[in-house]
């Protein structure tokens, strides 16, 4: 197993590498966090609520405006690929550019919406978000690029606009039909809080994430522990699409007996009154997850706001069971991680997070129990699955921001 807790690069070392690559410009340092969704999974495309928080792992960038009509990008995570150059205007997707398509897509979307950069741009990226773990490295680099461009060129966009434009870059330029949650959390995160986001309306509010354990006799300081199953999302795209299709079929069946735009606008009582209209058992299970998960998410936020972290943890467990049994996006490795976590002393709650079919669990663990949690879950997971887990002990974070004018 591996444990990663350090979440900060050496700004001075990055500055030296920036000067070596791009010359003696005076760059500014920016940061955009990854995110973890605490509860509210597979509700976003059904008009429901999600509850993510930004985390202390993320992506940094040194960025500076430069004369001319060229964008130059380099990532210390892909040093072997060197500097990627692209035209400032009218840039098109090019698979040969690999990772650089994500920031370039943002630059193109800004241009398409009347926010073209007035000159060239040099950016050096470095991140510690594990690739493929479901912690939204693509959203972080998109939001980071948008935030840096907004600052350096005085575009005057707010955080919600930066999130929406970053999502558009992934949808239209990259071609991945993601929802808004990842970019929104990276752009709009607030330390010691999570975001209740209504995906249908983009209404949102912050809720305090009281990792001091909340009120009551069980109160103890807690940490967020992300556990990576190290199983790649091999079935994700096709299986997600099938589940969305079943939800759409359920919605169409319900619409025959009740006017409805989204599954998640139904309360549990309303769903129970119309569920017999759903014509297949599979569509019924998928729809039931969406409705119950949306209800759980709203209850979970109320629990946090009343200081009951342990009630929140119980709802996390219910969420995982629904994702396992009704939505069926867990896999044996994710189930093993959740079940092992539930059995550990000091675990407030644990569930899979992200799309499923691989990726991570998120656990709230009493701080004094974190070391034992990592040891026991890691060893037991290896015995049960033959795989090694990776652990990320993290804090909440503010959203994308400028860190310094000059390192």
Known catalytic membership, residue 203: no
pLDDT at 1: 54
pLDDT on residue 6:
46
pLDDT over 90 percentage in the chain: 80
Q: Classify the C-alpha dihedral 228-229-234-240 as positive or negative.
A: negative
Structure tokens given for 227 = 């556990």
For 208-232, the pLDDT digits (tens) are 987 875 555 556 899 999 999 999 8
Q: What are the two backbone dihedrals, phi and then psi, of residue 70, each rounded to the nearest 5 degrees?
A: -130, 140
| Per-residue pLDDT at 3 | 56
Fold of 2-206+397-404: Ribosomal Protein S5; domain 2 (3.30.230)
**Non-local CB neighbours of 218 within 8 Å, separated by 6+ positions:** 310
Determine if the pTM surpasses 0.85: yes
Q: Which of 44, 122, 182, 326 is catalytic?
A: 182
d(CA 129, CA 115): 29
Give the pLDDT of residue 111: 98
Reduced 3-state DSSP string for 121-185: EEEEEEECCCCCCCCCHHHHHHHHHHHHHHHHCCCCCCHHHHHHHHHHHHHHHHCCCCCCHHHHH
Domain range annotation of the chain: 2-206+397-404, 210-394
Please give the share of the chain, as a percent, with pLDDT higher than 70: 93
Can you say how many angstroms the Cα of residue 236 is from the centroid of all Cα atoms in its chain?
Answer: 16
Distance CA 260, CA 140 (A): 34
Q: What pLDDT, in 10s, does the model give residues 275-297?
A: 999 999 999 999 999 999 999 99
- pLDDT of 116 reads 97
- The CATH architecture assigned to 210-394 reads 2-Layer Sandwich (3.30)
Is residue 60 within 8 Å of 403, Cβ to Cβ? yes
Q: For the beta carbon of residue 96, count every other beta carbon within 10 angstroms.
A: 7
Identify the DSSP state of 280.
S
d(CA 132, CA 231): 9
pLDDT of residue 137: 86
Do the Cβ atoms of 123 and 59 come closer than 8 Å? Answer: no
Helix (H) or strand (E) holding 85: strand 84-87
pLDDT at residue 184 is higher than 60: yes
- 22-66 per-position pLDDT tens digit: 987 889 999 999 999 999 999 988 999 999 999 999 999 999 999
The per-residue DSSP string of 200-268 comes to: TTTEEEEEE--TT--SSTT---EEEEEEE-----TTHHHHHHHHHHHHHHHHHHHHTTS--S-GGGS-H
Q: What is the phi-psi region of residue 156: left when phi exceeds 0, alpha when psi lies from -120 to 50, beta otherwise? A: left
Please, what's the largest Cα pairwise distance for the chain?
A: 68
pLDDT of residue 130: 73
Half-sphere exposure of 126 (CA within 13 A, CB side): 14
Per residue in 330-367, pLDDT (tens digit) is 999 999 999 999 999 999 999 999 888 888 999 999 99
pLDDT at position 5, please?
A: 47
């Amino acid at each position: 197993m591996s444990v990663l807790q350090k979440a900060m690069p050496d700004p001075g070392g990055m500055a030296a590498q920036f000067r070596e690559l791009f010359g003696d410009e005076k760059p500014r340092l920016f940061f955009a966090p990854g995110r973890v969704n605490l509860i509210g999974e597979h509700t976003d495309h059904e008009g429901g609520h999600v509850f993510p928080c930004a985390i202390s792992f993320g992506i940094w960038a040194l960025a500076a405006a430069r004369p001319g009509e060229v964008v130059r990008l380099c990532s210390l995570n892909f040093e072997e690929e060197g500097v990627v150059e692209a035209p400032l205007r009218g840039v098109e997707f090019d698979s040969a550019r690999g990772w650089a398509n994500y920031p370039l897509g943002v630059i193109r979307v800004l241009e398409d919406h009347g926010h073209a950069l007035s000159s060239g741009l040099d950016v050096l990226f470095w991140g510690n978000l594990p690739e493929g773990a479901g912690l939204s490295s693509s959203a972080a680099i998109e939001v980071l690029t948008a935030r840096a461009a907004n600052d350096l060129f005085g575009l005057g966009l707010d955080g919600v606009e930066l999130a929406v434009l970053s999502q558009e870059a992934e949808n239209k330029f990259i071609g991945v039909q993601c929802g808004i949650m990842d970019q929104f959390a990276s752009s709009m995160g607030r330390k010691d809080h999570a975001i209740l986001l209504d995906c249908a309306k983009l209404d949102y509010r912050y809720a305090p994430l009281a990792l001091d354990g909340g009120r009551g006799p069980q109160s103890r300081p807690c940490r967020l522990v992300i556990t990576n199953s190290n199983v790649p999302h091999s079935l994700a795209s096709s299986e997600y699409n099938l589940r969305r299709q079943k939800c759409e079929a359920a919605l169409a069946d319900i619409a025959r007996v009740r006017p409805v735009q989204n599954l998640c606008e139904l309360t549990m009582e309303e769903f129970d009154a119309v569920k017999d209209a759903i014509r297949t058992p599979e569509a019924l299970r998928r729809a039931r997850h969406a409705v119950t998960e949306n209800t759980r998410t709203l209850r979970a936020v109320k629990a946090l706001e009343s200081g009951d972290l342990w009630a929140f943890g119980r709802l996390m467990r219910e969420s995982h069971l629904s994702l396992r049994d009704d939505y069926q996006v867990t896999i044996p490795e994710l189930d093993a991680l959740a079940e092992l976590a539930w059995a550990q002393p000091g675990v407030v709650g644990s569930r899979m997070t992200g799309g499923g079919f691989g990726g991570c669990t998120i656990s709230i663990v009493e701080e004094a129990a974190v070391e034992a949690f990592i040891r026991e879950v890691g060893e037991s997971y290896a015995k049960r699955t033959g795989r090694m887990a990776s652990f990320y002990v993290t804090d909440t974070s503010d959203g994308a921001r400028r860190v310094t004018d000059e390192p």
